[in-house]
Amino acid sequence: MTDRKNVRPTAELQAADLAHHLHPFTDHTELAGEGGPRIITHGEGVWLWDSEGRRLLDGMAGLWCVNIGYGRPELGEVARRQMDRLAYYNTFFKTSHEPVVELSERLAGLLPDGLDHVFFANSGSEANDTAVRLVRNYWARHGQPERHVIISRRHAYHGSTILAASLGGMASMHDIPGIPVPGIVHAEPPYSWEAGADLDDPEFGARAADAVEEAILRAGADSVAAFIGEPVMGAGGVIVPPPGYWKRVQEICDRYGILLICDEVICGFGRMGEWFGAQSYAIRPDVMTMAKGLSSGYQPISAVAINARVAEPLLDRVGRFPHGFTYSGHPVAAAVALENLDIMARENLLGHVRVTAAPALQTGLATLRDHPLVGEVRGAGLVAALELTADKASRRPFDPAGSVATRVRDLCFERGLVTRAVREGLVFAPPLVISQDEVGELVTILKSCLDDVWAAL
Ligand code: PMP
């Protein structure tokens, strides 16, 4: 194990960070007011340590990505071996290398039937950009270039490039001029809490799916290329699809001949207890985007899988798809991803999620259902959310909106639990390796924070 101590003192690192480092999604005045960022030094399993020696239970698996947990020495060994052998080569000009060949083959074996070809990128955002170029390419090669519109959903998160931010449906992501770019239409999400419906009401499921059809008709069905959606919306607040939702969305896409893109950046690689969320919801995607759990965050790598229909213009027709990244299929990232998938299979992490971790998390959080601050507890597999409310009957948010969730989140942090606030909610997505006892610790800390914030209100 390498040295876990920083070379420089915390205060010095914080000052240098404030002076030079721009953080994603961060209010830098707030960060400066707090004296700078927390400095994380190392991790082990579901646990993180900061430079002050404090231990944190990572209820978010980093950013929903460290599926196999922290501190796996095998991955470092694989990376070093691959770097020594071939640290880099591209796959552009009729070349390939063993790690990328093996990873493509492995993924084709794990993916739902029909998804047989894989394109690599570095991030979820790039994977979604790639997916949009692929489906637009498909329609253009079929003589229908006017079919370019992508239907996405309000509250969705699909990444931070200009296109991925446009696919996303969070108002705050569209605050920068020029976003969303043209050609994206947002449908209402299947968000029962917000819609005043019951979480498991099939009638709401049908209504929510019909919102996708409404968006298609609004755009003009002949101009729609694809629908993109996460099986369970993650960063948008863990929005769990009501019964019947996906079946009907699939039928709608089929009826209009629209391609279906599943964004599996969060749901993929075990989080739902299957390799992919599409399997949990019997979705038949034409295109699937993946990242995060593909390497458990140990290396930046993402992928886009396509079925024969979308691959046909690429494979069977003359001409090339003008798209790719310097690091598409990076050999070190691919080797690390392979080892990560080996670990997941060897340790039967899918089984662990299904049998132990997910039931523990969902039943543990369900015990907080009657807490005076909690309006709803929902989840699927190993993601979950608590929806907080100022009034359970009317589902009224707090004033100012989100303030209480942020307070609970900050207190959790102080007490050694990482969670994330989304609107009025708190979301959870721990590493898949989390044990029953660790889930117990998570729930205990969370409850103490809810209690104390409630008492202080
Ligand atoms: N899609 C989904 C569903 C995501 O959750 C994220 C990241 N949170 C992305 C895409 C973007 O991935 P990246 O940050 O790697 O670009």
292 shares its domain with 434:
no
Atom number, ligand 1, closest to the C-alpha of residue 123? 15
111 shares its domain with 248:
yes
Residue 274 Cβ inside 6 Å of ligand 1? The answer reads no
Pairing of strands 115-121, 184-187: unpaired
Residue 286 Cβ inside 6 Å of ligand 1? The answer reads no
410: in domain: yes
> How many domains does the chain fold into?
2
Residue 230 Cβ inside 6 Å of ligand 1? The answer reads yes
162 shares its domain with 289:
yes
342 shares its domain with 376:
no
Instruction: Check residue 2 and give its pLDDT.
Output: 56
Domain of residue 62, residue span: 38-68+348-456
Residue 264 Cβ inside 6 Å of ligand 1? The answer reads no
Top mutation candidate among 158, 301, 420 for ligand 1, by most atoms within 8 Å of CB: 158
385 shares its domain with 429:
yes
Instruction: Check residue 118 and give its pLDDT.
Output: 98
Instruction: Give CA–CA dist 32/20, Å, rounded.
Output: 12
Atom number, ligand 1, closest to the C-alpha of residue 230? 3
pLDDT in tens, 153-192: 999 999 999 999 999 999 999 999 999 999 999 999 999 9
Going from the Cα of 302 to the center of ligand 1, the distance in angstroms, rounded, reads: 10
Average pLDDT over residues 419-432: 98
140 shares its domain with 218:
yes
Residue 212 Cβ inside 6 Å of ligand 1? The answer reads no
Residue finishing a domain among 310, 329, 346: 346
Residue 303 Cβ inside 6 Å of ligand 1? The answer reads no
323 shares its domain with 185:
yes
- CATH number of the structural domain spanning residue 90: 3.40.640.10
pLDDT in tens, 93-136: 999 999 999 999 999 999 999 999 999 999 999 999 999 999 99
380 shares its domain with 308:
no
28: in domain: no
Does the predicted interface ipTM exceed a cut of 0.90?
Answer: yes
80: in domain: yes
Going from the Cα of 263 to the center of ligand 1, the distance in angstroms, rounded, reads: 9
Residue finishing a domain among 346, 379, 407: 346
pLDDT in tens, 57-82: 999 999 999 999 999 999 999 999 99
299 shares its domain with 154:
yes
184: in domain: yes
50 shares its domain with 175:
no
- CATH number of the structural domain spanning residue 378: 3.90.1150.10
Atom number, ligand 1, closest to the C-alpha of residue 124? 12
244: in domain: yes
Residue finishing a domain among 327, 346, 365: 346
Instruction: Check residue 26 and give its pLDDT.
Output: 97
322: in domain: yes
Average pLDDT over residues 49-57: 96
Instruction: Check residue 149 and give its pLDDT.
Output: 98
* Whether residue 3 has pLDDT greater than 80: no
197 shares its domain with 304:
yes
Cβ proximity of 273 and 353 under 8 Å: yes
Residue 265 Cβ inside 6 Å of ligand 1? The answer reads yes
The reply to whether the predicted model has a pTM over 0.80 is: yes
309: in domain: yes
253 shares its domain with 361:
no
Atom number, ligand 1, closest to the C-alpha of residue 292? 15
